[in-house]
Amino acid sequence: MKKNQDLAPLMKNFELLHETPIKDGISRRKALKLMGLSPIAASVLASSASTEAKASDAKGKIVILGGGTGGIMAMAHLRKSLSNPDITIVAPNEVHLYQPGQVFIAAGVYEGKDIELDNNDFIPDDVKWIKDEAKTIDADNNKITLRSGEELSYDYLVVATGIQYHYEKIEGLSVDDIGKNGISSVYLSDLEKGTHTGAEITWKWFNDLKQAAADGKKPRALFTQPDTAIKCGGAPQKILYLAADYLKENGLNAECTFCTNTASLFSLPNVAEELARTQTTYEGMTTKFKHVLIKVDVQKKIATFAHAYQEQGEWDEDFEMYDTTDHYEEVDLEYDFLHVVPPMGPVDAVKNSSLGWQKGSAKGWLEVDRYTLQHRRYKNVFGIGDICGVPMGKTGGSARMHAPVITKNLIAQMEGQEIKAKFNGYTVCPLKPGYGKVIMAEFGYDGPIPTLPFWTDVSIPRPAWWAFDVYMLKPMYQHLMMRGLM
């Protein structure tokens, strides 16, 4: 690994961490201790420490739907900000997955138990915890029907139900195919049961790919990204680069093809350029833009992609623009290995209620104002996390920024005050162009929002961000974010 002299002290820590096996518990503890002393740790913690206002005496029954990242953060912030909180959380899951860690399991850096947290540690006794799911939401009557059939009323509702996967929308593919015939998917998990099988399957898949490459035949590996909103928009590429780097480290390579619905590798041009440069460092890596996986023949190992594109025609004198012709074709690609990112959508309970956007590309996602996160039609309803139908960010980093905004705005609503707090669209994508470095792409509605004032270029791959991501982020999530402390 190349040394950056400016980062020498931190790199020293980082190298020390890597002297001992990554999967060794003692080394991880040592790592945390070391990283806890780092200037980055201090700076990030300082920049994100919340300034607590005096607790409000506002009253009302608050129901939170969902006990994942957003639901627990909302609960923790609201509980601290109200003098007499009356909070009920509807969360079926006791195991709370630290989902960013699924990528590190897939890459062989974490083990399964590393990402299994416990909601019993986060939900205090003074919060009523209903271990069930909302089946229907009747927002006109402030009522929820649970899967058990029980009805629950609320004065204020926080929707934090996250996202639903739709593997079934890919013809010929079922969830049971993942882990067989060269197919993997890092996303595959059951948040209610707290399982993360896709991550383990993907680590085995990395090793099967390595074995195939070592056997001499250059394997063909496809990596997909669907045409829906997805959580952690960077994860499809994280798996692409980590798999390719895993081979490279072993002196091997594959024909890696990234098939994405998008027209560029990232929405920020300088990050897209850096990723394009990254791809040139892996022999045999290419991207097929505007290619959406629609069908898989799992036996024959053929993936079919919808490819919609426009062709430029003649210059039109009258309209002073080029004519364009729309084309559509279906493209069959043979593969040996296929990493699938499923189409995703809002959870049924929200999609089938009156709370979703009624039309447009966000149809079914929670219809909240993109700045205040207050529902545009039901003023006693707020959203946090992936379920929000806002243009930016389905990441835990976004949910962290949503939490103080909805807390202030919900309390203002309870107090009959003006709704003032605004979400700036913050999202964060810790892209991994290879092992040992991360591009910490932080941005919002108006462009880059770097957390650290001395690293304003969010497109640069940095070893320190890898160390931060592997060793610090999870403890910060577990001990600070889940407790409303940042």
Residues that bind ligand FAD (CB under 6 A): 65-71, 90-93, 99-100, 102-103, 133-134, 160-162, 186-187, 191-192, 231-232, 235, 347, 349, 385-387, 394-397, 399, 428, 430
Q: Is 352 helix (H, G, I), strand (E, B) or coil?
A: coil
In our burial notation (b when 16+ CB lie closer than 10 A, e otherwise), range 88-124 reads bbbbbbbbbbbbbbbbbbbbbbbbbebbebebeebbe
> Encoding tokens for residue 476?
């910060």
Q: Which helix (H) or strand (E) holds 142?
A: none
Distance (Å) of CA 366 to CA 157, 165, 350, 353 = 12, 17, 7, 10
Tell me which residues are annotated as active site. 232, 429
Distance in angstroms (rounded) separating the CA atoms of residues 201 and 410: 41
Q: Is 416 left (phi over 0), alpha (psi -120 to 50) or beta?
A: left
> Encoding tokens for residue 332?
């069959």
Angle between helices 235-249 and 197-214 (to 10 degrees): 40
State in angstroms the smallest separation of the CB of 157 from ligand FAD.
Answer: 11
Closest-CA residue to 272 (of 316, 229, 234): 234
Distance in angstroms (rounded) separating the CA atoms of residues 150 and 302: 47
Q: Are strands 447-448 and 437-444 parallel, antiparallel or unpaired?
A: antiparallel
DSSP string, 144-182: EEETTS-EEE-SEEEE---EEE-GGGSBT--GGGTTSTT
Q: Are strands 437-444 and 116-118 parallel, antiparallel or unpaired?
A: unpaired
In our burial notation (b when 16+ CB lie closer than 10 A, e otherwise), range 307-340 reads beeeeeeeeeeeeeeeeeeeeeeeeebebbbbbb
